[in-house]
Structure 1
Amino acid sequence: MTGTYGKGNLVTVATCNLNQWALDFDGNLERILTSCQRAKELGAFYRLGPELEISGYGCEDHFLEQDTFAHCWESLEELLERGATDDLLCDFGMPVLYQGVRYNCRILACNRKILLIRPKIAMADNGNYRESRYFTAYRPTQNSPSALLLPESFATKFHQTTAPFGIQSLQLADGVTIGVESCEELWTPQSTHIAHAMQGVEIIGNGSGSHHELRKLNQRLELIVAATRKCGGVYLYANQRGCDGGRLYFDGGALIVCNGQVLAQAQQFAVDDEVEVIAATIDLDDVRSYRASIPSFGVQAAGTDNNPPLLNCREFRVSSQSLAIPSLPRDLVSHRPEEECCLGPACWLWDYLRRSGATGFFLPLSGGADSSSVAAIVGAMCVMVTEAAQADPEGSTAHDCRSICRKEAPWVPQTPQELAHHVLHTTYMGTQNSSEKTASRAKRLGETIGSYHLSITIDRMVEAVIQVFSMTTGKTPRYSSQGGQMSEDLALQNIQARLRMVTAYLYAQLLPWVRGRSGFLLVLGSANVDEGLRGYMTKYDCSSADLNPIGAISKHDLKKMLIWVAEKYGWNVLKEIAGAPPTAELRPRAEIEGPSEDIEHSQLDEEEMGMTYEELGWFGKLRKISRCGPVSMYRKLCVYWNHLEPIQVAAKVKKFFFFYSVNRHKMCTITPAYHAEGYSPDDNRFDLRQFLYNVQWTRQFRVIDSLVEKMKLIGATGTR
């Protein structure tokens, strides 16, 4: 295998999606080994892996423990011993302690020798990320690069005592140059790949830990494609795919791009394989000629003298002059938001279910859009898992199916409904305030998906609680429609909501026993992001659960998802549910003429909230994504909502901030939710704001009122 400049230097490179799990060192090790073996089988001489793949990305405060670093070195040692790097240049991700400082590093190794330890220079600290809490951004010095003293076992087993540590690129014996860019560095204004290109680096690998968020993948793809279209070169992107122990779902999407054209792309959502490797063969002369054809690139490259040094690795080569055929460009594949709303949480739930040891889910199914969305997501999960298990009855997905369902080989589910009947338990918990419409929808949806469905009433429980209160106080609360005060009315609504939560956990614990099975069920919540933002939920009601697949998805997106799922799988009852008006059904129904099964409940969510779900979406995006306080939000909405008078906009903004702040405490106890939306109000990890406010917002609302008066004056005089 030799390479000569100018004679067509073919190189086959590979990258991967890995379904890693935080602190699962043995499992992570085996998945990495598998990816290296598959890369070799594909003829690759370079393999790129995800960020922090050896430990798992989501270790969080475990990165503060020295044990984590020690176990990573143990895993790296075993990777070398077991031949992962034999005839393969591998780029691994793991944390490294250097001179008393924790760094997020890439480890480049080949033939059981560590060629370079490259620390990350830009930390991800926005949104869900807290990398600077665990790691320090590396800053090259005059003495950089330097050497890191390796554990003693590396000297004994591999005859290597130190390894280069710092910002460098590799130059191999055949003249091929390989550089490193790590996750966040792609997104920074002065991206590392620009300096690499100016230096002539031909292949750049980016090991990433990027989570799924609606509409985010296209941004990632645009950055990678634009980077190579502008600068030329080969760009490999690796990512984790799956739930590694937290709210995030890492959505894969490994990619190989050359000169702005996509050559290979891995899946974004899948349940069928914990290891997915893609490869492409590139003629590096295409990179060299592409760059040489851009005069401005040559001018800038020739004038750059501050690039990181090249590390000569003359004993290694990756190019080939074999008869391999270069890979052809292909179209990018991306999902619509309504597909992402379904497929992302479905894959996340499957990972959580199989790794938690649970035997299924329990869902309070009201027949409304939110709980039906959760049921639809689990139903889609069952479709994906069934297809994967049937495609490979001996594979990991089929094995997980048998483990969860307590079945013996060679059993695999014959239909998604068969699997759903094992893993999804749904129960309609009605009261005298519930309508026959919602009960019918819940029953028909359960039958369609295949869940183990029950329909019960909890009136006796509600009555018992009220009787205990009446016996101790001598007073009996009434609804406002029956002459009671609003405090009485809310208390009576909340009793029903909270008793549904208590009932849910009772059934989740005992239904496996009832069905003659062992194990436990995970309770699923179904509060959407808009209700959490407004606080339109009862604290410790059915929004309190073990997991919430839709806690960061808007009502608008959920309804679009329901229609997509209905069309995709033929579950037509979801279209009916998507078109029904949202209702809590906690107050007595108004007396309306007509058959009861045709009557929708008179208690409508949007009327009670005093704002529409569409308006809540505006409030959420402006508050979080655009970082608006009350005044700046009012100013922007006066422009966006030009169909309203300024005084109407002011009233809506003030109402929103009042209810947002008075209910903010509910976000401190919110169920862990799948992260999907950039304006999620999750207080635990994502939305770091206080929960005790001056709900009058005295200064802010006073300024808004003064702006309204100015607008009135402008309108009266016709001047600006």
Structure 2
Amino acid sequence: MNWENNLSNIIEAINEAQHKGIQILCLPELCITGYGCEDMFHSTWIAEKALDKLGHIVPETKDIFVTVGLPVWFEDKCYNAICLIYNQQVLGFYAKQKLANDGVHYEPRWFTPWPTGKAASFHYLGTDYPIGHFTLDLFDIKIGFEICEDAWREDRPAGHTINHGVDLFLNPSASHFAFGKAEFRESLVVKSSERFDCTYLYTNLLGNEAGRMIYDGDILIAKKGQLIGRNRRLSFKNFNLLSAVIDFNGNQDGEKAIQLDHPNPFAEFGKAASLALFDYMRKSRSKGFVLSLSGGADSSSIAVLVAEMVKNGLEELGFDGFNVKSGLDLTEGDAKKVVYQLLHTAYQGTVNSSEDTFNSAKSLAESLGARFYDWKIDEEVGAYRDSIEKAIGRELTWETDDIALQNIQARARSPIIWMLANIEKCLLLSTSNRSEGDVGYATMDGDTSGSISPIAAVDKSFILSWLTYAENELGYKGLKHVNSLAPTAELRPQEMMQTDEADLMPYSVLVDIERKAVRDKKSPLEVYDRLKGGYPDHVLLKQWITKFFRMWSINQWKRERIAPSFHLDDFNVDPRTWCRFPILSSGFQEELDELSRS
């Protein structure tokens, strides 16, 4: 709903396309309002204002055909539509027929699917225009339309008789980022162009629009089974423009415009999460980030993501562009000097902390250029402990009060790091990962404290592997200490030799169980049947599965309160976007009994 910004981007894109001699321009789905307005789409004034903004766009379309996405109320129902404009004249409105209703999508909550093959009349600014499902004859070719989910269904609009003989399909989309999704999307576009013997153009939204979803700005052009245009995704720019010269008479087309892209999930993660952090920072009008840097894997990965944000932003926008777009008054310098202005870190040690983690945190912060503070919280922890011991009339011991003694240390760190964030007017970065979210291995109001949780959608095994990648491939040599340490909360006395995997289970096992139980929705016994071939110790495997399901069940309340996170993988455990589970349940008791008897 940033009307001025969205209108500026749209008009600037149109003007650039006109300057380059482009005749047909496809802008993304719902680009006037933004895709992520959610329940605000129920407000009729949102669509009315979008139509008002459309009136500012139409005069900008001299000698060019443009599709512009917006919500349209028609006969007391809201439709996800695109307006078709040519040479300063509205030609009609195509309405989306297939609504996304899986994973992170809830489109049927806001929109009505348009009936396939139906066309009606829509009154706009004193004139009646066609609305619904139709094609256009323009530039001596037949143009058809699909909007995002339309193309992902077997009974898609492109296969309807209305679209027989279409030369060009335009697909404006708002397709969220997930690891590996770009390859599937490219395959869909190429196969669509082959199946319908046409040229197929796909364009996607770009950036972290509303907080959780990341859009990669994918632009794809295929002709009759051949990819002829693909841009680089996950740009820090306001928009990207990709063009191709198409001869619809079957003669030689122009040169292919296929650019190299990020080839693997590790590269995608750095690009996607850093872009998401940049947009989240500037759109929340924050001055930067504050991070409790423990020297362990999770907080270190987030520190590197902020450094990647600066590096990628400066490389693509230059200092002046980065400074203006961030909305901050930064002092010019290299990447490390900019990181210094944006990232404040603190090592909050206790008597249970080690020199290894302190040195790990300090050396990483220095290598990135981040500000680094360190202080002890033993006095605060001691005060809490003294107060409760006096109240209950006994001393706390590790034998009887293990969890309480661990948690108070994590919670005692929260107020002071929040204080630093308030002082600096920065976002506090939460350090919980998805594996911790699965089993509640995180202290509520402790390491879950934060404004945004950048890694809550990826598992711990991924984080550990990515840190090695970041050290060796991205050049972050300050990760050497981090990558040499076994993950540990460092909340018990050092002589107890605490490690995460001893508290839980091997992270690789946790990930295997998570994928079957959460992503694939399998019961405990089904999880066991699918994993037992890879684990010779079946008794131990059953113990791990039982532990996972029990901890998953009793910790839903924690997942409900984890800070907003970016959607990065093909699934996540955020109940507000992907995985809803009851706060109170039986805890799979009957199903776990079946597992134990099997």
So what's the TM-score if we normalise by structure 1? 0.80
Deviation of 1:284 (Å): 0.9
Q: Tell me the secondary structure at the aligned position of residue 681 of structure 1.
A: coil
**CA shift digits 1:15-52 (9 cap, x unpaired):** xxxxxxxx111211110001111111221111101110
Query: One-letter code of the match for 1:422?
Result: Q
Query: One-letter code of the match for 1:469?
Result: I
Match of 1:459 in 2: 378
Query: One-letter code of the match for 1:217?
Result: A
Q: Based on CA coordinates, which of the two structures has the bigger radius of gyration?
A: 1
**CA shift digits 1:390-414 (9 cap, x unpaired):** 3x73x4x23135x42x34xxx53x2
Q: Tell me the secondary structure at the aligned position of residue 180 of structure 2.
A: coil
Q: Does residue 1:635 correspond to 2:547, yes or no? A: no
Partners of 2:146 and 2:70 in 1: how far apart?
Answer: 14
Indicate how the Cα distance of structure 1 residues 198 and 400 shifts in structure 2: closer, same or farther if over 3 A, else same. Answer: closer
Deviation of 1:329 (Å): 6.1
Match of 1:701 in 2: 592
Alignment partner of 2:537 out of 644, 648, 651: 644
Match of 1:213 in 2: 178
Q: Is the Cα–Cα contact under 8 Å of residues 341 and 553 in structure 1 kept in the other structure?
A: no
Alignment partner of 2:84 out of 108, 115, 118: 108
Partners of 1:349 and 1:461 in 2: how far apart?
Answer: 32
Q: Percent identity of the aligned residues?
A: 29
Deviation of 1:216 (Å): 1.4
Alignment partner of 1:98 out of 57, 60, 74: 74
Query: One-letter code of the match for 1:698?
Result: Q
Indicate how the Cα distance of structure 1 residues 490 and 554 shifts in structure 2: closer, same or farther if over 3 A, else same. Answer: same
Q: Is the Cα–Cα contact under 8 Å of residues 42 and 279 in structure 1 kept in the other structure?
A: no
Q: Tell me the secondary structure at the aligned position of residue 558 of structure 1.
A: helix
Alignment partner of 2:296 out of 368, 378, 392: 368
- RMSD of Structure 2 on Structure 1 (CA): 1.9
Deviation of 1:285 (Å): 2.1
Q: Is the Cα–Cα contact under 8 Å of residues 434 and 572 in structure 2 kept in the other structure?
A: yes
Q: How is 1:282-681 mapped onto 2 (pairs within 5 angstroms)? A: 282-286=246-250, 326-328=254-256, 330=258, 333-390=261-318, 393=320, 395=321, 397-401=322-326, 403-404=327-328, 406-407=329-330, 412=332, 414-480=333-399, 485=400, 488-510=401-423, 512=424, 520-590=425-495, 602-609=497-504, 611-639=505-533, 641-645=534-538, 647-681=539-573
Match of 2:238 in 1: 274
Deviation of 1:354 (Å): 1.3
**CA shift digits 1:649-704 (9 cap, x unpaired):** 33222121011111121111111111112331112222111111212x23212322
Query: One-letter code of the match for 2:323?
Result: A
Deviation of 1:192 (Å): 2.8
Q: Tell me the secondary structure at the aligned position of residue 427 of structure 1.
A: strand
Partners of 2:154 and 2:520 in 1: how far apart?
Answer: 20
Q: Is the Cα–Cα contact under 8 Å of residues 136 and 142 in structure 2 kept in the other structure?
A: yes
Q: Does residue 1:148 correspond to 2:41, yes or no? A: no
Q: Is the Cα–Cα contact under 8 Å of residues 34 and 275 in structure 1 kept in the other structure?
A: no
Partners of 1:701 and 1:354 in 2: how far apart?
Answer: 47
Deviation of 1:53 (Å): 0.5
Deviation of 1:648 (Å): 3.5
Deviation of 1:198 (Å): 6.5
Q: Does residue 1:683 correspond to 2:575, yes or no? A: yes
Query: One-letter code of the match for 1:145?
Result: A
Partners of 1:653 and 1:691 in 2: how far apart?
Answer: 20
Unmatched 5+ stretches in structure 2: none
Q: Is the Cα–Cα contact under 8 Å of residues 448 and 562 in structure 2 kept in the other structure?
A: yes
Unmatched 5+ stretches in structure 1: 1-22, 156-160, 290-323, 513-519, 592-601, 709-720
Q: How is 1:3-82 mapped onto 2 (pairs within 5 angstroms)? A: 23-80=1-58
Compare 361-370 and 196-205 and name the one that shifted more.
196-205
Q: Tell me the secondary structure at the aligned position of residue 543 of structure 1.
A: coil
Q: Tell me the secondary structure at the aligned position of residue 250 of structure 1.
A: strand
Query: One-letter code of the match for 1:71?
Result: K
Partners of 1:70 and 1:262 in 2: how far apart?
Answer: 38
Deviation of 1:331 (Å): 6.4
Deviation of 1:325 (Å): 6.5
Match of 1:175 in 2: 140
Indicate how the Cα distance of structure 1 residues 329 and 268 shifts in structure 2: closer, same or farther if over 3 A, else same. Answer: closer
Alignment partner of 1:189 out of 132, 143, 154: 154
Deviation of 1:616 (Å): 1.5
Partners of 1:398 and 1:259 in 2: how far apart?
Answer: 43
Q: Is the Cα–Cα contact under 8 Å of residues 231 and 259 in structure 2 kept in the other structure?
A: no
**CA shift digits 1:433-458 (9 cap, x unpaired):** 00000000000000010001111110
Query: One-letter code of the match for 2:135?
Result: S
Q: Is the Cα–Cα contact under 8 Å of residues 282 and 327 in structure 1 kept in the other structure?
A: no
Indicate how the Cα distance of structure 1 residues 575 and 264 shifts in structure 2: closer, same or farther if over 3 A, else same. Answer: farther
Q: Is the Cα–Cα contact under 8 Å of residues 249 and 675 in structure 1 kept in the other structure?
A: yes
Partners of 1:566 and 1:608 in 2: how far apart?
Answer: 27
Partners of 1:197 and 1:253 in 2: how far apart?
Answer: 27
**CA shift digits 1:125-166 (9 cap, x unpaired):** 11111000000111147xx3110111xxx23xxxxx111012
